[in-house]
Structure 1
Amino acid sequence: MVNFGQIQRLEHLPAKIAATIGQEIAAGRLKGGEKLPTEHELAKTFGVSRSVVREAIAQLRNEGLLDTRQGVGAFVLETQRRPVIRIDSMDLSNPESFRSLFQLRMPLEVEAAGLAALHHTAEDLQRLDDALGIMRDMDTRWTTEGMQADLAFHCALAQGTQNEYYSMFVGFVGEKIANTIAVARARAELETIVQLTVDEHTAIRDAVALGDMMQARTAMRAHILGAASRLGLQVDSPTDDAKRDCDA
């Protein structure tokens, strides 16, 4: 069995563990078809709880590196079955790579917000409201559940575009977006950042509900820029006015 060694307690343990296992897969020390140790064994090896290991395995499954089978365990996918494109969690320890992820989110999610304002259904809006409700709740907003609701909001917004490719790509970077949420909370004054995040998401939701494409895009841009600034990142973003001038 691969000897992973205990992991240091850094900002987001599931992402760190997922990255460590991912490196073993990339290096060929964990081969296609090989079964991972049990959650209990991995938790003991890494010195973390089983829930942390479970979240790391879910991340690797979403990235297309593992196949999980109910009641059996997690298996490394064969090379030919893995996605051509993936974002390694370890890359995000590099500030420039972290900034690049935000730069990717900018056009993707700003345009998704605008399209969702035009094409969302009542069910899409309800999903946004459900996620916001958890983010606003004083009992859950500070917890992992609150962070998961934050990600669910972004995924629901992508679904509201009625364009399967937006949902696909937002889902693809979703786990990495979750990592940015976790890191942002770890590095800032928690009460302040959570309230700012709720306010920004509320502005996006209200613009979508009104069917205001430009306001939805503006609100999403403000949220991504705000999140980046709270991490000390500078993200380039043309304003809608500037884009209209270029189009003209």
Structure 2
Amino acid sequence: MAVADFNQIRRSEHLPARIAAQIAREITEGRISAGEKLPTEHLLSKTFGVSRSVVREAIAHLRNEGLVETRQGVGAFATDIERRQSIRIEQENLSDKASFRSLFQLRLPLEIEAAGLAAIHHTSDDLLKLDEALSQMTGAAKWTDEGILADLAFHRQIAAATQNEYFLLFLGFVAERIHLAINAARASAVLEEIVEVTIAEHLAIRDAIASRQPNQARQAMHEHLVGAASRIELQLEIF
């Protein structure tokens, strides 16, 4: 299996991140006021010429950065300045391999621990949502950008299944930037191989969580993350 040259990450342009950056500028520069409702998913998808799933991913970026809050059945609203997160990692900063490796290194302990906690604390609804994400990853859309969005949704749902809102907050923030790794690996490897290997790794994680086996879940996540790093030629420090 071929592995990605890190330069591919530098060239990758992830559509949801680009759209989120444009909306973020509207918010931070005051053209969308605090408390103001963002346009609907339908209108944003028409404006940017993308699918609604891409718009939802962009809104997730903004939510994880504290720039918007979403209200079920109502929509997304710009947050007050004092409620916004002070931590920001600009996407272009991750074009530097050392910076990207540091972010991936942070992901390792957080996601391994999350997998173990999810195995203990997940609900039937959490498992249903994991299976929904897996279904999208393994269906006809697995070769497309929809498959990448499903991959990210799978990891966010594991964080949610910990029943610890801080895991969801921090891992959501990190995961939105790790999508570059998925793009780079897919672009540089034999797509059929990279997708099938990734699916198998996710299935192993899901099965361990569903069986409420925290040690196996942690091990499966460990193997997935190490494999994901190797596919983009990142050498992590493993202890």
Residue of structure 2 in register with 1:245 after alignment: none
Deviations 1:197-231 (A, max 9, x none): 10000111111122221111111011011111101
* Shift in Å, 1:81: 4.0
Equivalent residues in 2 for 1:150-161 (5 A)? 150-161=151-162
Residue of structure 2 in register with 1:87 after alignment: 89
- 1:15 and 1:203, CA in 2 relative to 1: closer, same or farther beyond 3 A? same
The one-letter code of the counterpart of 2:168 is S
* Shift in Å, 1:40: 8.9
Q: Which of 212-221 and 59-68 deviates more? A: 59-68
CA–CA distance in 2 between the matches of 1:213 and 1:151? 21
Structure 1 residue 101 and structure 2 residue 103: aligned?
Answer: yes
**Conservation of the 8 A alpha-carbon contact between 1:15 and 1:59:** yes
Match of 1:133 among 98, 111, 135: 135
The one-letter code of the counterpart of 1:103 is Q
The one-letter code of the counterpart of 1:120 is H
- 1:107 and 1:74, CA in 2 relative to 1: closer, same or farther beyond 3 A? closer
Identity %: 55
* Shift in Å, 1:143: 1.8
* Shift in Å, 1:82: 2.5
- 1:41 and 1:229, CA in 2 relative to 1: closer, same or farther beyond 3 A? same
Equivalent residues in 2 for 1:41-52 (5 A)? 43=48, 49-51=49-51
Residue of structure 1 in register with 2:122 after alignment: 120
**Conservation of the 8 A alpha-carbon contact between 2:64 and 2:169:** no
* Shift in Å, 1:22: 5.7
Residue of structure 1 in register with 2:150 after alignment: 149
CA–CA distance in 2 between the matches of 1:185 and 1:17? 21
- 1:164 and 1:56, CA in 2 relative to 1: closer, same or farther beyond 3 A? closer
Deviations 1:12-60 (A, max 9, x none): 244345457767987xx667739999959975xxxxx345984546533
Structure 1 residue 33 and structure 2 residue 30: aligned?
Answer: no
TM-score by length of structure 1 reads 0.72
The one-letter code of the counterpart of 2:205 is I
- 1:18 and 1:131, CA in 2 relative to 1: closer, same or farther beyond 3 A? closer
CA–CA distance in 2 between the matches of 1:67 and 1:170? 17
**Conservation of the 8 A alpha-carbon contact between 2:118 and 2:162:** yes
CA–CA distance in 2 between the matches of 1:11 and 1:155? 21
**Conservation of the 8 A alpha-carbon contact between 2:136 and 2:150:** yes
**Conservation of the 8 A alpha-carbon contact between 1:114 and 1:213:** yes
Match of 2:113 among 100, 111, 114: 111
Number of residues of Structure 1 aligned to a counterpart in Structure 2: 220
Q: Per chain length, whose mean CA-contact separation is higher, i.e. which structure has more relative contact order (CA < 8 Å, sep 6+)?
A: 2
**Conservation of the 8 A alpha-carbon contact between 1:31 and 1:78:** no
Equivalent residues in 2 for 1:16-31 (5 A)? 16=18, 18-19=20-21
* Shift in Å, 1:155: 1.4
Q: Which of 30-39 and 90-99 deviates more? A: 30-39
* Structure 2 gap segments, 5+ residues each: 1-10
CA–CA distance in 1 between the matches of 2:51 and 2:164? 33
**Conservation of the 8 A alpha-carbon contact between 1:155 and 1:167:** yes
Structure 1 residue 197 and structure 2 residue 194: aligned?
Answer: no
**Conservation of the 8 A alpha-carbon contact between 1:60 and 1:66:** yes
**Conservation of the 8 A alpha-carbon contact between 1:103 and 1:235:** yes
Residue of structure 1 in register with 2:3 after alignment: none
